[in-house]
Structure 1
Amino acid sequence: MKSHLTNDLKYFDYNATHPPFPEILETCLADYLEGYFNPSGITRFSLKNQGKIEQTRKYFSSLSTGNEKQFVFSATGTEANYLLIQSLRVLYPKLDSVIVSPFEHSSMYAALESYGFTSDLIQTNKTGIIHLKDLEKKLIENPRPVVCLYAGNETGVIQPAEEIHKLTKEYGQVFYSDLMQGFCKVNVPYSLFDGFTFSGHKIGAGMGSAVTYLPKADSHFRLFGGGNQENDHRAGTENTFAIECLRKVAEIQLEQLEKKNKRLSRFQSLIEEKLETLGCTIIAKSSHRLPNTTFLILPIQSVDFFLLGMEEKGVLVSTGSSCKSRAREASKSLLYMGYSEEEALRCIRISTGYFTTEEEVDALLVAIEDLLQKFR
């Protein structure tokens, strides 16, 4: 299956949004145009659409061995994260703080704040891995739920989920995780998490679908009232088109996972070896990372002009998390890891994916070398 991207555009921002799988979206759109009926209706046409939603829910249940009724579809990753944290407020109505990694997406911190939780951040260092001893210390002093993403959206570092799971169970606490970057990129150990989230646009299924897995099927877990959709967890008509796309793209991504990751790991090595010869510093290079992600410090100050130059050459990279990239703020993740603000402002992220080719990687490296020479 080929991307619809033209040869004039070399795309290296997969962690922000994976390019869509055109054949899948076109097929699902054709289905939707014919079967546009509200899935909450009582006609057989509506019931058919509800069946598609339940088929997708069943697929994710079999994939993770989770309970079908605990999977909730929503519109965005941010909404999925908010629902996950809302369930914490229901489970622990008097709780005032949660143990949290310093690498979360900004929506996770915002959700915690919105529901009245303060974030007790776990210590880390330049490895990009949380300090397990600090986590245990916090659990001993004040046992509380733990929120820690599985894979960093900037560094790509994969956190020690098994060890975190053991510690949380030892102290009788739940363990929630944002799987936005891990889902369909690596084999995810779903059983280690009491609750988790992931999103369709991160894997090429287009915008409009995301998933929350709740710790149990409690109807008090809900962001919106006014309807009984999603087993009473989210009022509002489901996006049948986006949900069907999510399932079909996930099937393709997971079927090709091993083959894809071998190719992306080779690209990662090629990229990082070349960039180091050009004076770049690879963040968390020795840590267990996603095979598609390289986060690096450029050896120049003119990062904004560098990015514009890359775009002029038809190559798209990013400065990190897309939710903050326009503001050009120093990455908080890097600051917590011990990098200076000046270093953090010189960082860019290169992320590859299903459609990335060796020719694109070659073009990327030529463009970077050319611009670094000019700006020096």
Structure 2
Amino acid sequence: MKSPLTNDIKYFDYNATHPPFAEILETCLADYLSGYYNPSGITRFSLKNQGKIEQTRKYFANLTQGQEKQFVFSATGTEANYLLIQSLRVLFPNLDSVIVSPLEHSSMYAALESYGFSAELIQTDLSGVINLFDLEKKLKENPRPVVCIYAGNETGVIQPAEAISKLTKKYDQLYYSDLMQGFCKTDVPFSIFDGYTFSGHKIGGGMGAALTYLPKPNPNFHLFGGGNQENNHRAGTENTFAIECFKQVAEIQMRDLEKKNKRLSEFQSLIEEKLETLGCEIIAKLSKRLPNTTFLILPIQAVDFFLLGMEEKGILVSTGSSCKSRAREASKSLLYMGYSEEEALRCIRISTGYFTTEDDVKTLLSNMENLILKFQ
């Protein structure tokens, strides 16, 4: 697949948004322009579009070994997370709290608050891995559903999902997970989760389509009323274009996963070995992580000037979760892990992906070295 990136941009913010697979989006757009019919209509043209949506639902069900009717398409990852948590409220109308990792995306905490749940946070440490003993203690004292992200948006740390699943089953509780960063980036044990979410724009499918897997096909789980789309779970006309892009890009990403990850793992080692010689500290280096993600503490205070300097060279990195990075707040995940606010404010995230090349990495490291030495 041809990269949509120009030579002017070296992109290292894949965890925020994966660059789109231009050829896929262009093909799907051409189909949409000639077949723009509302999939909820009664004509054969509309039914054809509804058929495409159902084929995509079937594809994700086969991929994950899940049940088709429990997959719900929505527009964004945030919306998908809200539907996931809304299902908890329907299942447990009197439940007041949920056991949650301190490493979630901000939308997950917002969804919990919106549906009236308080979040009892699981302990963690500098490893970025949740404390399983603390989780079991909380389950034993007050058995409740558990929400724990699979792969960290910032650190890339992969949580011990199988061990978490065993604990939740031991205490007969549901286990929900945000798979936004893990999907199409590593092997995901889908069957151990009772509910989960992932999104098209995180894998290169463009904006506009995300998925929620619900714990059961209950018609009372619904984000919006007013229509019977998505098996009554989400009223509103489906985005057939985005859903088709989602499927076709997922097929490519899954097909090339092993080969891609071998290359990205080599880039990760190259990046981290070089940056450590410059005084950078790699967050959770010894933990199991996504091969595309490096979260680090810079050995300088002038982080804003560093980022501006990188951007002037056409190199895009970030300070962490895209929903919070613009505000330049200290990462709450890092604070819970035990880092100071001062350390957290010196962090940047480098994330690679399908279109990253060795030349990109060399350009990144050369410019980072020059700027770090300049600001030291």
Work out whether the TM-score is over 0.5. yes
Deviation at 1:285, TM superposition (A): 0.1
Partner residue, 1:29: 29
Equivalent residue, structure 1, for 2:155: 155
Aligned AA for 2:113? E
Residue 96 (structure 2) aligns with:
96
Matched letter for residue 71 of structure 2: F
1:319-375 per-residue CA deviation (whole Å, 9 max, x = no partner) reads 000000111000000000000000000000000000000000000000100000111
Please give the residue correspondences for 1:212-361 in structure 2 after superposition, counting only pairs within 5 Å: 212-361=212-361
Number of residue-to-residue matches in the alignment: 376
**Separation in 2 of the partners of 1:38 and 1:87?**
27
**Structure 1: distance between partners of 2:116 and 2:220:** 17
| Aligned ranges 1:8-157 → 2 under 5 Å | 8-157=8-157
Task: Please state whether the residue corresponding to 1:78 is helix, strand or coil.
Answer: helix
Q: Which amino acid aligns with 2:294?
A: T
In 2, distance between residues paired with 1:362 and 1:345?
25
Q: Please state whether the residue corresponding to 2:196 is helix, strand or coil.
A: strand
- Give the superposition deviation at 1:3: 1.0
User: Unmatched 5+ residue regions in structure 1?
Assistant: none
Q: Distance in 2 between matches of 1:150 and 1:295?
A: 17
Structure 2: state its 5+ residue gaps. none
Match of 2:207 in 1: 207
Instruction: Specify the code of the residue in structure 2 equivalent to 1:156.
Output: G
**How far does residue 123 in structure 1 lie from its aligned partner after superposition?**
0.1
CA distance in structure 2 between the partners assigned to 1:259 and 1:302 by the alignment: 37
Which SS does the other structure have where 1:49 is aligned? Answer: helix
What do the CA deviations read for 1:228-254 (whole angstroms, capped 9, x no partner)? Answer: 000000000000000000000000000
Q: 1:8 Cα deviation (Å)?
A: 1.1
Residue in 2 that maps onto 1:181: 181
Q: Distance in 2 between matches of 1:267 and 1:61?
A: 32
1:4 CA drift (Å): 1.4
Counterpart amino acid of residue 255 in structure 2: E
Return the alpha-carbon distance in structure 2 between the equivalents of residues 167 and 305 of structure 1.
46
Return the letter of the residue paired with 1:105.
H
Secondary structure of the corresponding residue to residue 327 of structure 1: coil
